[in-house]
Structure formats: C-alpha cells, structure tokens
Amino acid sequence: MALDTLLSRKAGVLAVIAAAGLTLTSIPSAARAEGVAQGRRAEAVRGTVADRLQDRTGAELAGAGAPALPAGVSARAWTVTDLRTGDVLAAKNAHQRLAPASTLKTLFAVTVLPKFRAQAVHKVAPKELAGIGPGSSLVGIQENRSYRVADLWRGVFLRSGNDAVRVLASMNGGWTATAREMQARARQLGARDTTVKSPDGYDSPGQVSSAYDLSVFGRTGLANADFAKYCATASARFPSSGSPAFGIRNTNRLLTGANGMRRYSGILGVKNGYTSNAGNTLVAAAERGGHRLLVTVLNPQSGASNAVYNEAASLLDWGFGAVGRTRPVGSLVAGAAAPGGRAAGPTADGAGGGDGGRTAGARPVAAQVSRQPGRWSETTLWAVAGGFAVALAAGAVFGWRMYVRGRQTPGDGR
C-alpha cells in the first residue's frame, strides 16, 4: 500500500508538471503563429505598391496596348493613382521616406479641417504667430485681427502660409498636440512612412513622408468637399487691417498656369511644396474622360525649370492613356477614403483598393497591424496567460485528488 500511495502522489505531481509543460509548449507555437500572421499583415500594408523603374514600358506593366511610361521623369519618387478605385497604376520608390515640404499640409488639412466651421471667426493672438521658421511662406496674417476660418484655410492652400497653419494649429490645441494628432491620423489611414515633426511641412530633423503616403492624404482630402474646394481655388481675396482685402494666388502652377506653365486641362488642384531639404514636391489631381487620377512627385533631379510640374503633367497624361489598359502595381490601403466619402475596399492580398462601394465600413488594414510586427499582441498574451492558468488549475485539482486518494488507502489507517 505504501507503494500505491507513493505512486499516487507521484502521479499527482506529474499531472501538474505535464499540464504546465503542455501549456508552456504551446506558447512558442502561438507566438510564432501570431508573429507570422502579423508579419504578413504588416507586409500587406508596407508592400502594397511595387516599385517600378522609370524606364520600364507600359507594356511591361500591363501587357499589350498600354502606353510607355514617359521619358525623362527624374523625380526620386512618384506614384500615379486612380482616385476612384485607389489602384496605383505605376510607381517608383513609392515607400521611400523623403522630406515632404508643404505637401504635408494635406495631412494637416485632413486632420484639422473638419473641426471648425468655415464661417467661424477667430481673433489672432500674438503668441499664435510665434515660432514660424525663417524663410517660411506667409499669407500675411496680422496680430489682434479677426479672420474667418475659411480665410485661414485659403491662406494654407493658396499661399501655403505657415502663419495660417500656426493659427489653425493653435485653435486645435497647439503645435505639439496637432503634430501628435496628425501622426495618429496618418497611422489610422495606413500611412506608415510618415513622421510628423512640424505640421506646416517646414524642414525638421526626422520629418519624412513618401509618395505613397502623400497619395493617401491627397485622396482622403479630396473626399472632403471643403478640402476639394480650397485646393482647386486659383485665386481669392484675403482680408487686411486698415485697407481693402488683397489678392492672393495659388502657388500650384498646374492650377494657375503661371511662371511659364500652362494650366493643366481638368486640374482638380491639391498641393505643392518646396524646401531646401525636400526640393520641389507636388500632389496633383485631374479629371479627363470620366476618369480621375492623382500623381505625387517628389524631388525631381533634372534641375530643369518647372520640373516638378512638367513631370507631374507627363505622368497624368500617361495615366489617362493607361487607365483601363494596365494592371495596377498596387493600391492604397483601406483606411484612405475615396472621393465621395467611401472607404476603399481590400484587395486580395489584404491591402486596400477597389471600388469603395464594395466594402462599406471595412476596417482599415492598418488597424489590424501591430506597431511591432512579429511581437505578441496584447490579446495573444492574455489568451496564452489565461490558457496557462486554466491548465495549471486543472492539473493541480487532478493532482490533489490523486494525492488524497493515496492518503485514504487502508494502509494509512483511515
């Protein structure tokens, strides 16, 4: 009987050890499975656009009948996107992280514009104009003067006024808070190449975006009627204290036809920029033949006058000739809204794109991806910990019962 008792006690201990071992053995498998799944989801977001070398022909991208990509596009990165579907028709270095200059104001507008009524009036305090970087473009906002919100936004879109951005950011809770909110909005939209340091796009250490992300911001912005109106405005009157309002003109030369450029036929506007670090940058949209396209062009290297505008125009021309005749090289993620307020639907590889009407209310792909792909998610850790606790408890109960049975044998005198 002593032997039976000993065996029963050993069986109980072994049951506890076995339960714990079984649970612990499952942890690496769960971690590996979660890591692989998150890695694939991250790749779906980061790899939605395949880079295409500039000298590849449309035929190589699409098959017979597609036009050749334009020669002489010297930009470090660019994309051509179908606005309706979110399909990227062609791209070069789409995810290369570069300084965005004032094209980052598209994200600023996407983040802040919906918060304030256009006819609301705000009086500018002197502190709201503090900190504007040297050499910044300005619309001419004056201290202690009241402006309508619509005037401030015209200052942002037409004159790329960093003073207007400062005032609107102050209304939004401050410069730093606005930068954080823009960063969060970018992630919500699936734009993972962007780091916001200065909401106006002014050169700041570590501030970057990409042709892909800026395309997401431009497309999302155009889904907002006010954004679309402001970015398409070629000229306006801006209020001034003690004198009549003065005229301001949009700095986007594809929209105005200024400085040796022709107004691009069907132009819908959006936003241009320049800093010494970023070079010339441009997000431009146009409509032709029932199709709407958006191009993003970053930092042309040719040194030619108006290079960013001419290269954007040539890519728009190519896109209008290629739409319907070329297979997309990728798509914008599901978080980016299509014009009209619809969300872009997911593609077969889990990235966004397609007709926005197909998957109304679809959850953005980016929302499903851990910030650190391959690491356990919070949900996974709780699930593993819960499973371990249950298995351990069950093993302990079983082991205790075996132990008690061993002590209650006749040889124990009970």
Read off the pLDDT of residues 60-69 as tens digits, 9 standing for 90 and up.
Answer: 454 557 899 9
Question: What integer pLDDT is reported at residue 202 of this predicted model?
Answer: 98
Q: Are residues 39 and 57 in the same domain?
A: no
Q: Are residues 40 and 83 in the same domain?
A: no
391 pLDDT tier (thresholds 50, 70, 90): low
Question: What integer pLDDT is reported at residue 100 of this predicted model?
Answer: 98
20's tokens? 């714990």
Q: Are residues 63 and 175 in the same domain?
A: yes
Which residue would you say has higher pLDDT here, 348 or 146?
A: 146
* pLDDT tops 80 at residue 11: no
Last residue of a domain, one of 332, 348, 365: 332
| Mean pLDDT on 69-98 | 97
Q: How far apart are CA 150 and CA 157, in angstroms?
A: 11
Name the residue range of residue 249's domain: 49-332
Question: What integer pLDDT is reported at residue 341 of this predicted model?
Answer: 42
Question: What integer pLDDT is reported at residue 241 of this predicted model?
Answer: 75
389 pLDDT tier (thresholds 50, 70, 90): low
Q: Are residues 302 and 394 in the same domain?
A: no
Task: Give a yes or no: residue 18 inside a domain.
Answer: yes
Q: Are residues 311 and 390 in the same domain?
A: no
For residue 168, what is the domain's CATH number? 3.40.710.10
396 pLDDT tier (thresholds 50, 70, 90): low
Task: Give a yes or no: residue 350 inside a domain.
Answer: no
* pLDDT tops 80 at residue 367: no
Q: Are residues 131 and 228 in the same domain?
A: yes
Q: Are residues 405 and 272 in the same domain?
A: no
pLDDT tens by residue, 181-225: 999 999 999 999 999 999 999 999 999 999 999 999 999 999 999
- CA of residue 82 relative to chain centroid, distance: 17
DSSP H or E stretch at residue 168:
helix 162-171
Which residue would you say has higher pLDDT here, 359 or 169?
A: 169
Residue 216 near residue 120 (C-beta atoms within 8 A)? no
Instruction: Determine if residue 335 is left, alpha or beta; phi over 0 gives left, psi from -120 to 50 gives alpha, anything else beta.
Output: alpha
383 pLDDT tier (thresholds 50, 70, 90): very low
- Strands 267-275 and 337-338: what pairing? unpaired
Task: Give a yes or no: residue 30 inside a domain.
Answer: yes
Question: What integer pLDDT is reported at residue 243 of this predicted model?
Answer: 73
Identify the bridge partners of residue 114 per DSSP, sorted by sequence position. none
| Mean pLDDT on 143-148 | 96
Which residue would you say has higher pLDDT here, 212 or 23?
A: 212
Q: Are residues 171 and 230 in the same domain?
A: yes
Q: Are residues 249 and 384 in the same domain?
A: no
Q: Catalytic positions, please?
A: 102, 105, 160
* pLDDT tops 60 at residue 130: yes
Which residue would you say has higher pLDDT here, 352 or 101?
A: 101
* pLDDT tops 70 at residue 14: no
| Percentage with pLDDT > 90 across the chain | 63
Across the chain, mean pLDDT equals 77
Helices (H) and strands (E) in the chain, counts: 11, 12
Task: Give a yes or no: residue 365 inside a domain.
Answer: no
Question: What integer pLDDT is reported at residue 393 of this predicted model?
Answer: 55
Which residue would you say has higher pLDDT here, 358 or 206?
A: 206
Q: Are residues 271 and 199 in the same domain?
A: yes
Task: Give a yes or no: residue 361 inside a domain.
Answer: no
| Percentage with pLDDT > 70 across the chain | 64
Question: What integer pLDDT is reported at residue 75 of this predicted model?
Answer: 98
Which residue would you say has higher pLDDT here, 361 or 52?
A: 52
Q: Which of 392, 389, 381 is nearest to 27 (CA)?
A: 381
* pLDDT tops 70 at residue 178: yes
Number of domains in the chain: 2
Q: Are residues 18 and 40 in the same domain?
A: yes
- Strands 279-288 and 330-331: what pairing? unpaired
| Mean pLDDT on 226-242 | 94
Q: How far apart are CA 144 and CA 84, in angstroms?
A: 43
Task: Give a yes or no: residue 286 inside a domain.
Answer: yes
Which of 89-93, 173-177, 365-369, 398-402 has the lowest average pLDDT?
365-369
Which residue would you say has higher pLDDT here, 348 or 163?
A: 163
Question: What integer pLDDT is reported at residue 111 of this predicted model?
Answer: 98
- Strands 121-123 and 146-148: what pairing? antiparallel
Collapsed DSSP state (helix, strand, coil) of residue 210: coil
DSSP H or E stretch at residue 22:
helix 2-46
Which residue would you say has higher pLDDT here, 216 or 9?
A: 216
Task: Give a yes or no: residue 395 inside a domain.
Answer: yes
Question: What integer pLDDT is reported at residue 334 of this predicted model?
Answer: 53
Task: Give a yes or no: residue 354 inside a domain.
Answer: no
pLDDT tens by residue, 106-121: 999 999 999 999 999 9
Q: Are residues 328 and 378 in the same domain?
A: no
